[in-house]
Amino acid sequence: PKGQIGGSEVGHLTMGAGKVLTESLTRINLAFSDQSGVNNILHIPTFQQFIKNAQQKPAHLIGLISDGGVHSHINHLFSLLKIMKQQNCLSPNIHFISDGRDTPTQSGIIFAQQLLQLINQLKFGKVVTLLGRFFAMDRDNNLDRTKKAVSNILGESISIHLVGLIKAFENSYQQQITDEFIEPIVVDQDYSRVNDNEPFFFFNFRADRMRQLISMLKEKLPDSSFFTMTRYGDDYPYKVIFEKEKVDITLGKIISDHGLYQLRAAETEKAPHVTYFFNGGTEVVYKNEHRIICSSNKVKHDVMPEMKAKEITNNVIDFVTKKSPDFILVNYANSDMVGHTGNFPAIITAIQTLDRELERLCSYLIKQDYICVITADHGNSDLTYDLKTKEINTAHTLNPVPFIIYSSGNKYQLKPIEIVSFGLSDVAGTILDLMKIEKPKKEFNSLLEK
């Protein structure tokens, strides 16, 4: 939607698909706002099933509660609560995952106040736990973090117990703990544990940071019905409210269909983006597609802002020397992941590292007759302090991203910006032109001046 910051998922999906997709945020907004039309969420069979279950047992609603719009949106929860109330569901338990990453670092208390106001107005629902997204939404196999979140949701960690959601936020802020890093705690004095067969609704629409949490919860609760806002994975058996838009043709598929060899490289923080998302949101591995994934560090990224950039470069250079792939996709995570910390000295180190590794990799590739295309899926490190709010910015930005073609002799020219509207959907078509591969007729616009 206009004015909505981009994210790594939608960015890589768009670059790989060569077209602008109707995103989950837009589709869900329509389903909740279309009160009587064919798009209304109550027409969806799986949602009808959730409502039926929630009428018989108290449901558990779990998700990131903020207006960041990258993984979820607070308005979806508000609409969900109103519909459940109208449909005579039992009062649900809400598990509040705090943001502070795609939103200001201490904005969680504002969203908490908004939610409590609606709960009081509806006289429906209660917030039972509070979990920082650092714990609840880890995607890098830091299972100790996920275990803390799961134990909290299940009511097993009652020793860490504060009465009151607002008080929990205030106490965290007093200890200089921002929303992202709030330790999982129980905030309702009457909450004890999850009972048998209580339904769960996971309202994050972005998949990658919910997989660990939902998988570990399902191990503990095999008999509970799990509903997810979108499909979290091809092999996940849970009931899905909004199936993803199907992408039949991707850049990777076209390259593979031409019998060419391709390499995908990243560290684990961005592994899904250069594989699953770039391949149209599917688990497919194309013929002649090879992957190099370096294990991310197990510390906060501002502690080691260099991340795995050097290791990625070394591995790609070594692979190219041996195999000479026709297409290479590399993701350096530094400017995004360290940008999210808001730690300015660390961000400087991250960008210096990124600059050094880009120079090293591109200089090598040019000597091997490759053409380098440098771009990004969204902004982040370009804005570290918001002059309007006087706060550190940890979120993505709306600033334009670079698009640079670097080649021997710099012989390529882009269309004038007055003629064409640049976008991530044009990246795939431009690459196909550079590779001299015929493009599909409908999409895959190219930015090259011919």
Catalytic center residues: 8
Structure tokens at 93: 């338990």
Q: What is the dihedral of CA 409, 446, 331, 276, to 10 degrees?
A: -150
* Sheet strand arrangement including 185-186: 185-186, 126-132, 93-98, 60-64, 200-202, 226-230, 239-242
Distances in Å between the alpha carbon of 411 and those of 226, 364, 448?
A: 54, 18, 11
CA gap 99, 263 in Å, rounded:
34
Output 432-439 pairs: Cβ under 8 A, ≥24 positions apart: 432/251, 432/254, 434/371, 434/373, 434/405, 435/255, 435/260, 435/326, 435/327, 437/254, 437/255, 437/258, 439/18
Phi-psi region at 401: left, alpha or beta (left = phi > 0; alpha = psi -120 to 50):
beta
What are the two backbone dihedrals, phi and then psi, of residue 342, each rounded to the nearest 5 degrees? 75, 10
CA gap 441, 383 in Å, rounded:
38
Helix ranges (DSSP H) in 324-382: 334-337, 344-367
What is the identity of the amino acid at 377?
D
Structure tokens at 318: 């070594």
Residue pair 245/10 in contact by the 8 Å Cβ criterion: no
What is the identity of the amino acid at 302?
D
Q: Which helix (H) or strand (E) holds 63?
A: strand 60-64
Residue partners of 74: CB distance under 8 A and separation at least 6: 65, 66, 67, 111, 114, 115
What are the two backbone dihedrals, phi and then psi, of residue 96, each rounded to the nearest 5 degrees? -90, 105
Residue pair 285/311 in contact by the 8 Å Cβ criterion: no
DSSP class per residue in 185-210: EE--TT---PPTT--EEE-----TTT
